Amino acid sequence: DGGITQSPKYLFRKEGQNVTLSCEQNLNHDAMYWYRQDPGQGLRLIYYSQIVNDFQKGDIAEGYSVSREKKESFPLTVTSAQKNPTAFYLCASSYLVYNEQFFGPGTRLTVL
């Protein structure tokens, strides 16, 4: 079955540690995205990538880093520079512009 997977579903880290969230898709989509969701707010774009080996900052990229070495994978690293890392993180992908984005199940990150 085609889809987007994110792992793990729940993640706990100590303050000051970097953590990498996984996102894999087998939909053959060119574009991939990372969003963050906080209570009472819409999804906010962290980073996006339209093609392999290229990515662009979204609205709230500070404290985050990404890579796109393979079409199927778009991992997100939450660095210690991110001031409020506790949130629900969603990965998405899309095939062409103007098409809807397909979302993974999300990873809830809690920094203690």
Partner 1 sequence: DQQVKQNSPSLSVQEGRISILNCDYTNSMFDYFLWYKKYPAEGPTFLISISSIKDKNEDGRFTVFLNKSAKHLSLHIVPSQPGDSAVYFCAASLNRDNYGQNFVFGPGTRLSVLP
Minimum Å gap between C-beta 13 and partner 1 is 19
By residue count, the chain amounts to: 112
Residue 108: beta bridge partners? 10, 88
Per CB under 8 A, does 35 bind partner 1? Answer: yes
Find the binder of partner 1 among 1, 2, 42, 112 (CB under 8 A).
Answer: 42
Window 54 to 83, contacts with partner 1 (CB under 8 A) = 56, 58
Per CB under 8 A, does 21 bind partner 1? Answer: no
* Pairing, β 87-94 against β 102-103: antiparallel
Least Cα distance to 67 among 58, 54, 79, 80 occurs for 54
CA dihedral angle for residue 86, residue 24, residue 4, residue 91, rounded to 10 degrees: 30
Per CB under 8 A, does 90 bind partner 1? Answer: yes
Per CB under 8 A, does 16 bind partner 1? Answer: no
Per CB under 8 A, does 2 bind partner 1? Answer: no
Separation CA 27–CA 38 (nearest Å): 27
Residues engaged in binding partner 1 (CB under 8 A): 4, 6, 9, 31, 33, 35, 40-45, 48, 50, 56, 58, 90-92, 97-98, 100-106, 108
